[in-house]
Amino acid sequence: MPPEAELRSCDLILSGGTILTLDAADAVFADGAIAVLGRHIVAIGPREAVEAAWTAPRRMECTGRLLMPGLVNVHNHTPLMITRGMIEDLGFAPMFTPGIPQGHRLSEDEAGILARLGVYEMLRNGCTTIVDFYRYPQALARAHAELGSRAVIAGRVHDADPEELTRGRYVYEPGLARETIRENADLVERFDGYDVGRIRCDWAPHAPDTCSDACLREVAEMARGHAGNVHTHLCQSPVEVEQVHSRSGLTPPQALEAAGLLDPRLIAAHCIHVDPRDYARMGAAGIAMAYTPIGNAKTGRIAPVLDLAEAGIGITLCTDTFSGDLFEAMRWAVAMQRIRSADGFVLDARTALRWATQAGAERLGLGDAVGALTTGRRADILIMDMETPGLAPVIDGYGILVWSANGANVRSVIVDGRLVIEDGRLTTADGPALVREAQAVAERLWAAAGRRPVTRRTAA
């Protein structure tokens, strides 16, 4: 061992524990260590080797822990937490469901309070890279900036009047397109690249039916010079397919293609009601899908993920807001395809883990930065509790994480070298206060929509 003076200095050493790097070689260290300097991993390997070369003012003992890369959750709308626990029995998407607090009726402050609940929950469950888009996107960006997540934020561009949608009618208002495009443009201008790139801003046309063809073309034009992604919903419902067809005679993927949006930058959520004749078109265009298994299941549908993957579409994973637990989504992702597949026993735990880490990172253009634990990458690290009954036995590591683990097994979370969850507690804000504030906003808005929350003795 070299003398003390030859040790190199870093900020933090995670020492001991089993490290699943999920890197290209699937390297595992049974008694490993990770050295973190600033925002980066500067060394990872056997504990003896790392500790022989590095010293740090802070050392976290990780014996009895499982260390793995932070999860990449590629599609969310955090203010929609307002409908969680209620929308599931009412309709397929809040925007189309009457009698609920609609997103466009939230104030910017209320959107921000609900966004903080969503970000807190996802961080607490081990999601370190989060795609989040909705109205008031700057409120979302502020929530991620404050709580410490890595985020890709966008607006919610559409020109279909949302009040008319809840009545089952499509009425396109050019003023709405202008307003929501400006909101997205202002976001990009203000927050893109914030905190050395921890926050990136992209473009998000809501869907091919809630955007007119003119609106889709306008977003494509705005996003042309943008280096990031375009996020959308695609083939989420038969209503969408029917609306796009009646408008233009095209399928939703064809409408995106006609607008200039069907390209490798596109990450399309859902992809449930896809005409099989479009599989090859989507694959050749190089798009990715955000697979939403829990959301699919709640509406009784399963996306044809295996067919889409075979056609060349990149698969990534998301919880789409209604749960922040991507471990749960991994399990559902595999199980649902086994239900759907004629072959039954398809996919495996390692594939689901790849979708939730490296595959998502690559599709976001962050494939060299996050998604695996290697020297030189950003330090986005989960420290899982291996001394809990649900996370044992650890044999190959992948199986137990996908088939048994849940977000509550995450003890600590590091994003960009910063400890944002420590022993289950949010370090960047008062977690319980965030929950109370979101509860108060939700009670008020649901009461205004005519539903008396059980937490209230009398109607508001």
Residue ranges that bind Zn ion, judged by CB under 5 A? 269, 320
| DSSP, res 203 | B
Q: 426: helix, coil or strand?
A: strand
CB of 364 to Zn ion, least distance (A): 16
Residue with Cβ nearer Zn ion (269 or 288):
269
Q: How many residues does the chain have?
A: 460
In the complex, minimum distance from the CB of residue 108 to Zn ion, in angstroms, rounded to a whole number: 20
Under a CB-based contact definition with an 8 Å cutoff, are residues 135 and 112 in contact? no
> Tokens for 323?
């749960």
CB of 234 or CB of 400, closer to Zn ion: 234
| Two tokens, residue 165 | 């949608």
Q: How many CA atoms lie within 13 A of 135 on its CB side?
A: 19
To Zn ion, the closest distance from the beta carbon of 318 in angstroms equals 8
In the complex, minimum distance from the CB of residue 259 to Zn ion, in angstroms, rounded to a whole number: 19
Q: C-beta of 78: minimal distance to Zn ion in Å?
A: 11
Q: What Rg, from alpha-carbon coordinates, does the chain have?
A: 22
* Distance of closest approach, residue 231 Cβ to Zn ion, in angstroms: 9
Quote the CA–CA distance of 167 and 169 in Å, as a whole number: 6
Which residues are bridge partners to 26 per DSSP? none
Q: Which of 370, 410, 363, 421 is nearest to 74 (CA)?
A: 363
DSSP H helical ranges for 66-173: 108-124, 137-147, 162-165
What's the closest the beta carbon of residue 54 comes to Zn ion, in angstroms?
A: 42
At 215 the three-state DSSP class reads helix
Q: Report the C-alpha gap between 30 and 400 in whole angstroms.
A: 16
Q: Which is nearer to Zn ion, 92 or 279 (CB)?
A: 92
Q: 47 or 206: whose CB is closer to Zn ion?
A: 206
Nearest residue (CB) to Zn ion, 184 versus 428: 184
CB nearer Zn ion, residue 77 or residue 331: 77
Amino acid at position 197, single letter: G
Nearer to Zn ion, 125 or 232 (CB): 232
